[in-house]
Structure 1
Amino acid sequence: VTDRAAVRVDFLYTLIHRLGVFRVALFFAIDPLWDEALNRMRMAGLPGWQLDESIAPWWPGVSDTAVFAFMAYLLVFDFVDYWIHRGQHGLRWWWGLHSLHHSQRQMTMWSDNRNHLLDDLLRDTILVLVARFIGIAPGQFVAIVVLTQLLESLSHANVRLSFGPVFERVFVSPRFHRLHHSIGLGHESSGRGTLGGHNFAVLFPVWDSLFRSGNFEHRFDPTGVRDQLPDHGARDYGQGFWRQQWLGLRRMVGRG
């Protein structure tokens, strides 16, 4: 690490986002509204729905196991998060926000939290609504958020760490996710200047394998966004927190 000022800004993001405090707060904040919505559904004769109750008829008794229920919820969240991530890279206005996360040229465990606040708000809102819809218990939701945040920090670490030919396809490693942050490969699918990328999975690379967005090459390329480079426009993503947030909004509306 040579630019310690950039890392200090990432640490500021970490103080804001660490352990998913905003996501957990949002989960509990919408509790009265969600209860009201469920009551209206019942009054209208509409049935409720919970993930573990839906699994029970197919595999009796398995949903009574706390570990199984936790893993089922974790898989659902990771699947949803995969498609959120595809949206962040595939929709130009959303990429305008999310590209801030990719603008860090020096990866560290703090890089996980370098996100535009609006980008995080959109992602967290979707995940909280999914959590409420599938009926996850508050304690399980908090545990999943904490576990996910910690594993995401590991995947952003600036280490040449792979999980080997087998486990590399089971869990997201720092090597796998570094390719997602690599210039070009991580944010382009069909050549320079296009949207897309590879290795979108947050925890389980199986989604990238299923939907053919995975790249399992053993390589460690420079990280960042192509338009940051001097010979590709030298776009300014900002050095300080507030400038990064402002420039993200400008990129979102096509003025950055």
Structure 2
Amino acid sequence: MLVFLDRLFSAIAGEIDQYLVLPLLYHFGWMEWEELSFDWALVCVYGLFAVVVTYAICWPLEAFFPIERWDNRKAVLVDAFYTIINRVGVLPVVSFLVFYEAQVVVNSFVVAHGYIPPTLEMLVPPLLGHQVITFIVYALILDCADYWRHRLSHSFRSWYALHALHHAQRQMSFWSDDRNHLLDDLIAALWFGVVGLAIGIPPLQFPLLFLFTRFIESLSHANVKLSFGWLGDRLLVSPRFHRLHHGLRAAGRNSCNYGAVFPIWDILFRTADFSDEYAPTGDRRAPESMASGGYIAQQMGGLQFFLSEFRQSSAKRARRNS
């Protein structure tokens, strides 16, 4: 089955590459990227597949076992738009492009100075030839890094003003995972890029790891009464576990359950809450435009909230120093 899917995705990516990507590269004079164009197309095909699989699994769960039912789903539709552009559209291509280019530049620089950049398999030789185990190790490392990025985003007032766009959603669903401010997404991309370069993730594997982890995150945001049991909730982030992070009482610095895929980091760093409840979601401090506005209104509202919080933080520091 996996071989069939790999061949199918490769065939689809080949058609997209031949009839869409390559003509665009030729038109804009970007043929230096020709060797990578197929990989870009393949990443987008995998992204579309991930969206389809996420919808096929999460929609029935939300339909039959919802936590809440909503008459007006406009806010959910906006979240769906975020998902499409983040999984299939701009972000997969840009992340692949930037990460590949950065890896080439960094590797060329350090090799020119007599240093061979190690890969994770070089540092841990038993991982050689064990692709599944290596993939899991990569996922654990990236998830640990994301735990700290996420926790820090709740620790700094200005940074949280951007991240609050994600928490402002009162109708949280499996589409909500990609509901982020562009500046917050940029910080996350840089964060992941640095970590990915440090542990030597192959360029094509980086977006695939990204897609895998984001599928788990989509499920954890689903509007569904679901936990994985006492043991399962401690192995993988469930909808019940993550909903506590989005609960009204957990907004801002008082949150919990920062882990995106694996709860182990919350357990180790004492931020885990395994309460058996499905709290209402949202953040009352965030401007209404960030909760119920369209895509542009949310982005502008997040920027204004960030500037307001930044000015207030700066003024407080100035008063303390005077």
TM-score strictly above 0.5: yes
Map 1:49-88; keep pairs closer than 5 Å: 49-56=118-125, 61-88=126-153
Q: Is the 8 A contact 2:168 2:282 kept in 1?
A: yes
The answer for the alignment partner of 2:210 in structure 1 is 145
Which of the pair has more CA radius of gyration? 2
Map 1:82-121; keep pairs closer than 5 Å: 82-121=147-186
- Between 1 and 2, higher relative CO (CA 8 Å, sep ≥ 6) is seen in 1
Normalization by structure 1: what TM-score?
0.86
Gaps of 5+ in 1: 189-194, 229-233
3-state SS of 2:204 partner: helix
Letter in structure 2 aligned against 1:48: P
Query: What is the CA distance between 1:202 and its match in structure 2?
Result: 0.3
Aligned match for 1:165, one of 223, 230, 235:
230
RMSD: 2.0
Q: How far apart are the structure 2 equivalents of 1:215 and 1:101?
A: 20
Aligned match for 1:207, one of 254, 259, 265:
265
Q: How far apart are the structure 1 equivalents of 2:265 and 2:100?
A: 31
Question: Would the alpha carbon gap of residues 33 and 174 (structure 1) be closer, same or farther in structure 2, given more than 3 Å must change?
Answer: closer
Question: Would the alpha carbon gap of residues 81 and 24 (structure 1) be closer, same or farther in structure 2, given more than 3 Å must change?
Answer: farther
Aligned match for 1:27, one of 57, 75, 96:
96
How many pairs does the alignment contain?
240
Runs of 4+ in 1 over 3 A off after TM superposition: none
Letter in structure 1 aligned against 2:75: A
The answer for the alignment partner of 1:243 in structure 2 is 297
Matched, 1:225 2:283: yes
The answer for the alignment partner of 1:4 in structure 2 is 73
More helix by share: 2
Query: What is the CA distance between 1:9 and its match in structure 2?
Result: 1.1
Q: How far apart are the structure 1 equivalents of 2:172 and 2:301?
A: 21
Identity of aligned residues (%): 40
Normalization by structure 2: what TM-score?
0.70
Question: Would the alpha carbon gap of residues 18 and 32 (structure 1) be closer, same or farther in structure 2, given more than 3 Å must change?
Answer: closer
Query: What is the CA distance between 1:196 and its match in structure 2?
Result: 4.0
Gaps of 5+ in 2: 1-69, 311-322
